[in-house]
Amino acid sequence: MYSSSAGPLVSICIPVFNHSDYVAECIESVIAQSYQNIELIIIDDGSTDLSYAIVERYIDACKARFHRFKVISRPNAGVSETLNEGLRWANGKYFCGLASDDVIFANKTSFLVEYLESNPDTVAAFGSVYIIDENSKKIGQRTANAIYSFKDIFLLRAELPAPAALIRLSELNSVGGFDKNTKVEDWDMWLKLSIGRRTAIAVVSDLLAGYRVHSSNTWKQLDVMHAAKVKIVERYSEHEYYAQARAVVECARFRDLSIARKKESLQVFFNIARIPQVYKELRFYQGLCYLFFRW
């Protein structure tokens, strides 16, 4: 698990699915890490494009670069099961799951290892991210500098960009890994890691990764993602923030529909307007602005 000269071992898992336009840049960003003590597993999750052929071009370079390396190609099993396969393989002290269309910057791993080594009560640490487009152009950024509690995460007040994460592997294993029955496996995981803790998850303002926005990851999954969030909230139906969380999730849906599908958002508006908690949520008023002033 440890190399005394290189610091604790870090395990990185790249689940690959139909990202032939981006996977090369993703792998190259891991190879370019300034932190040396890394093991890497790349799992092609049943891609139907040229993704795996591109991955194969990097096998020799990865074998030369990493402490330990494995590449797998198999039928599609979904993101959560792919990450869990990576967890079962991993030997590191810390773990990062990196989507094959995202990138990490050269200092990401070294920065977050140092942070977690200095803050033993922190379960996971995140950097901030640039938003990048299909051509890797920086089009925005999401920054934060905070310690988030379960309440912050449950009420969607936490900015936790997955490509900029580094997590203690022992903690991931202690909560049973990722839930293969949800489409929002990252939010579900942050909830499981933070419940019952005060200082579980930290975000720093340093920009450490690039989160890619493109046509296949924007509005297409809106309904599926909303349904998955509702199911997760229901698991905490006895929690003191349950009613507020339900209102937050509905407000988030209202806001997003108001941007993309206004007729549907109007029906959602009439449904949620009867819920007192929605009037405390910024997303509700954002939805109103999008609905009535941005046609």
Instruction: Provide the β-strand partners of residue 15.
Output: 43
Residues in the chain: 295
Domain boundaries, the chain: 2-217, 222-293
Whether the pLDDT of residue 25 is over 50: the answer is yes
CB 247 within 8 Å of CB 277: yes
- Give the model confidence (pLDDT) of 111-138 as tens digits: 999 999 999 999 999 999 999 999 999 9
Residue 142 parent element (H or E): strand 138-142
d(CA 27, CA 281): 39
- Give the model confidence (pLDDT) of 186-205 as tens digits: 999 999 999 988 768 999 99
| Mean pLDDT computed over every residue of the chain | 94
CATH fourth-level superfamily of 2-217:
Spore Coat Polysaccharide Biosynthesis Protein SpsA; Chain A (3.90.550.10)
d(CA 139, CA 135): 10
Which residues contact residue 245 at a Cβ distance below 8 angstroms, ignoring those fewer than 6 apart?
A: 154, 155, 233, 236, 239
CB 203 within 8 Å of CB 123: no
Annotate 272-295 with DSSP letters as a single string.
HTT-GGGGG-HHHHHHHHHHHH--
- Give the model confidence (pLDDT) of 216-238 as tens digits: 654 568 899 999 999 999 999 99
| CA atoms 75, 77, 80, 84: torsion sign | negative
- Give the model confidence (pLDDT) of 39-50 as tens digits: 999 999 999 999
Q: Give the model's confidence band at 295: pLDDT under 50 very low, under 70 low, under 90 confident, else very high.
A: low
